[in-house]
Chain A
């Protein structure tokens, strides 16, 4: 079965969604990410959606669930790279992505992730990154 690759970089997991996901694939990504967070004791998850031409209520809900589940497991999730047309459409659709943290691109996302992890670990992440 097709899968979306999950890369481990230090304490973080990086996922770049490069395909137009059908619903079962999106659900399996959600399960896969939570498993990998536990397996690798990840503190952060970054999901790059810059290749996604559309986010509908299903995919939006899955992204929100991933963030909520990883938070319970001790990892912060940041979604990066949402296209402007997708953002405009999401607002009109009425989807409030609630507590989902987003950033413009990977660089800004990494900084946000770093500060979110710092806030939950008392600065341990930044110190380790600097070593």
Chain B
């Protein structure tokens, strides 16, 4: 697999979530994704960026343009150095929230993308990677 292009953004406050989704939108358009695919990826990115800001104390988002054989994709990685998630399965359950949210961010964004991986360790932070292939 080839990574053809990358971009990194800082996530510190709620304006950065807007910037992240606008950047993802621009990449999805440039990569020729359909409007529905664009909207799904942008929405998933917004959820994960917000989690990094609200629970992870901020972090970074890395966008990577992928080329694997004939298929092109966009991979986005959200990394924070926050408290981590003690029970990953529970956290991904629809409706589970330790905050005031609806608890739909993790489970929902997983449904909106082709590949979803999450890794977290207490005190170390959380890394979530999503990929959408065209």
**A-to-B contact residues, CB < 8 Å:** 20-24, 53-58, 60-61, 83, 85-86, 88-89, 92-95
Note all chain A residues with C-beta closer than 8 A to B50: 23, 56, 58
- Listed in ascending order, the chain B residues whose CB lies under 8 Å from chain A are 14-15, 17-18, 21-22, 25, 35-36, 38-40, 42-43, 46-47, 50, 94, 101-102, 104-105, 107-109, 111-112
Does A94 lie within 8 Å of B40, measured CB to CB?
Answer: no
A-B contacts counted at CB < 8 A amount to 70
Q: What separation, in Å, do the CA atoms of A71 and B81 have in the docked complex?
A: 41
Chain B residues with CB below 8 A from A94, complex form: 94, 104, 107-108, 111
Tell which of B22, B39, B108 touches A95, judged by Cβ atoms closer than 8 Å.
B108
With contact pairs A85-B39, A93-B43 given, residues A20 and B18 touching in the complex (Cβ less than 8 Å): yes
CA distance A22 to B13 in the complex (A): 9
Q: A54-B21, A94-B107, A95-B108 are in contact. Are A85 and B46 (CB under 8 A)?
A: no
- Contact at A85–B36, with CB atoms within 8 Å? yes
